[in-house]
Chain A
């Protein structure tokens, strides 16, 4: 099981602000993912990474960017926050040696006013 950390856990911010959601894992997993989840809804893939210097777009990627400069770190940036970005953001890493099992961080609950 991975140790995955996300900061901040909760964030309230005004429209138009630039924000970065942090995600770090200590298990050396190569693959990492960002998902978005609204209450009562399924998780949607935002971005993913195969490893250092690899970033790929998911289904909801058009308004955010990611970077992967170090194996353990996979931050997500919203250049200009909008109320429609209000959601829970979940980071996950994958243990490729265990059949693609993914382990989630505690999440960041973002509210854009």
Chain B
């Protein structure tokens, strides 16, 4: 079982719709969770971090965490074509200096 799992997609949503991206993780004691956006050929860019159960909102982005279900999600409201990218879920390792375990990412395509 991989430490962090994501559906690779592609997830296609029309412009203005809500995009929902999901992630599960295997280490029950993980404490810190992150969403990164990665455009093709570029490096990952941090867009959200979440540490407690529940929702965390930042602009058009909402991260949701459910530690009991070992589940993290990212909602993007009013999706724009510029949101088209791969979204990486990352979870802190409790060894290796708190390095991150990454999922393979979900490819999001927002169509005009």
Minimum CB–CB distance for A75 against chain B, Å: 17
Report chain B residues within 8 Å CB of A50.
97
Query: Is B102 in contact with chain A by the CB < 8 A criterion?
Result: yes
Query: Is A69 in contact with chain B by the CB < 8 A criterion?
Result: no
Interface size class on chain B is 20 to 34
B contacts with A: majority SS: mixed
Residue of A nearest to B51 (CB): A99
CB of A42 within 8 A of CB of B105, answer yes
CB of B43 within 8 A of CB of A107, answer yes
Residues in chain B within 8 A of chain A (CB atoms): 4, 8, 32, 34, 42-46, 49, 51, 88, 90, 92-93, 96-100, 102-105
A sample of 8 inter-chain contacts (CB < 8 A) reads A1-B46, A40-B104, A45-B96, A45-B99, A100-B32, A100-B98, A101-B46, A104-B43
